[in-house]
Chain A
Amino acid sequence: MPRIGPGGSPLTRGTATRPASDVQHRALVPDEQPQQLDEPGAVESTRGAVGRRLNGDRIADASDGEPLLAPQLRAEHGPCRAPGGAMTEQPRRRMRCQTRHARHPPHGAARCAAAGIGEHEIGVRPPAHQPQQRFHVRPLDPRVFTHELLELGQLHLHGCRQAQAFHEQFVSELAEPIFDGGIEILDRLEDGERDDAVHHGARNLPRGALLRNSLCLTSLLLKPMTNALPDLKRESFEREALVHLDVLYRVALRLSGNPSDADDLVQETMLKAYRAWDQYEKGTNAKAWLLTILRHAFINEYRRRTRHPETVDLDKIEPYAVFPEVQDEDPQGAFFDRIVDDEVLRAIDQLPVAFRETLVLSDVEGMSYQEIAGILEIPVGTVKSRLFRARQLLQGKLYDYAVEMGYIKGSPA
């Protein structure tokens, strides 16, 4: 059963600071006065849907003074209205649930709903400079909604503008434009994860996903995106991706070996990530996702540049344990303290790339074996053994260096 998260409607929460929120809140109150629905910009948010006639069904002008919302709709939701017409957040939410439940007597009703759309006349109040128009919304195309049909109530609850834009962009053009366009489609709030997704600005479903998931359509939520769409994307990208810039840079630097290449690598990674941001499932593991992109970019570049990629037989490398060497003289490893940063980094850079990347992801960036396995596309067991040998190899290099510098006497060779 769809539910709204305990913290309240995430739709409301997630958009509280954006202009779109007003549209949404208001749209949630179906019997509100048309004047309150009016909002310049909000209407434009449907990307021209308002100004255009659907099916040539222009039926009324502002001058005629008729109510904007269909009478049926008001009758349906009338009892939910608080005295005086003002509704707090809480009743609105409750109302939405109740309405949804009430309108959800098992599947049959939902099926009928689409046909119902055609019966409803919905009104949109345009900005003052445009004449008022009303539109018929045609029934949803049954070829699209093969399993369950869109619940009419949802559309109405979220306002006629969205319903109209939905119809125009989605139904008539079969799914594609809507994913790039002015409306974001959310699956029904089946569980807490959805709430979260919505809270984080929700994701655009990938192209075609709606068709595959059409079983979920009974309680589809529509959310106006308005002009804030790029900002939403930017907002979530900044919050989840850009915060990892330092990590990416450090890894890029160790992989590529020089600052200029590292810059380019990070830049390319961020660009690719931003382009593919819709494919990233928000709130999962952005760091690992970004590092995977970075590594692919590195490998491609590396292959392009070098005809003879590094051919080190990792199995032939025989690291030795340093501890037995220093056990008597310096079991506390005090000699490490004398080795400066640059020397450590130089020693890491000398490791074979397969060891280097594993070690950097684990010991510098603190990622788990599982995460590393995912990024490097190798089994966890391989991560384990590479890490073991990479650490020993590095220890050996640092130990040799320390002996050379006289930081430690070392055992006679």
Chain B
Amino acid sequence: MNCRECVEHLYEFLDRELTPELEREIRDHLEDCPPCGEQYDFEELFLKFLRARCRTQGAPAELKKRVLRELFGE
């Protein structure tokens, strides 16, 4: 596993979408390679940031009422 391959699979690694073998290879590489490790931290932080920023919003209460009214006549 070289750095290019590692970075290529970084997102899949973060998303836990890799095969166990590949996952192990990436993990080993990340431990041995500080720059790749840093990039891993950066990407991980970015994904957490995205999730936190975008999930604050939910369906408005008015919409919930509207759906219930429409479905069940309430």
Contacts and interface: CB of A to CB of B under 8 A. Distances in A.
Interface string B24-54: 0000000000010011011101110111011
Contact of B45 (A246, A333, A339, A348): A333
A391 interface: yes
A289 interface: no
A245 B41 contact: no
A263 B63 contact: yes
Nearest to B47: A363
Contact of B67 (A245, A345, A360, A369): A245
A253 interface: yes
A250 B57 contact: yes
Contacts of B45: 332-333, 336
A363 B71 contact: no
A327 B37 CA distance: 12
B59 A336 contact: no
A384 interface: yes
Interface string A126-169: 00000000000000000000000000000000000000000000
Given A323-B42, A388-B11, A391-B46, A364 B51 contact: yes
B42 A348 contact: no
Contacts of A339: 53
B28 to A, nearest CB: 21
A288 interface: no
Q: Is the interface of B mostly helix, strand, loop or mixed?
A: helix
A345 B64 CA distance: 22
A344 B47 CA distance: 12
Interface residues of B, number: 33
Interface residues of A, number: 43
B54 A267 contact: no
Contacts of B38: 323, 327, 331
A270 B71 contact: yes
Contacts of A250: 54-55, 57-58
Nearest to A344: B53
Contacts of A271: 70-71
A271 B11 CA distance: 36
A256 interface: no
Contacts of B71: 234, 237, 270-271, 274
A407 to B, nearest CB: 13
Contact of B59 (A237, A249, A332, A368): A249
A333 B46 contact: yes
Nearest to A383: B17
Interface of A: 234, 237, 242, 245-246, 248-250, 253, 259, 263, 266-267, 270-271, 274, 321, 323, 326-327, 331-333, 336-337, 339, 341, 344-345, 348, 360, 362-364, 366, 368-369, 384, 387-388, 391, 394-395
Given A270-B67, A384-B17, 17 more contacts: A245-B59, A249-B60, A253-B57, A259-B60, A271-B70, A323-B42, A326-B42, A327-B35, A344-B50, A344-B53, A344-B54, A345-B53, A363-B50, A366-B51, A368-B15, A369-B17, A391-B11
Task: Rank and list the top 8 A-B pairs by shortest CB-CB distance, nearest first.
Answer: A249-B59, A246-B58, A364-B54, A344-B53, A245-B59, A336-B49, A363-B50, A333-B45
Interface of B: 7, 11-12, 15, 17, 35, 38-39, 41-43, 45-47, 49-51, 53-60, 63-64, 66-68, 70-72
9 contacts: A245-B59, A249-B63, A266-B63, A270-B67, A344-B50, A345-B53, A362-B15, A364-B54, A394-B50
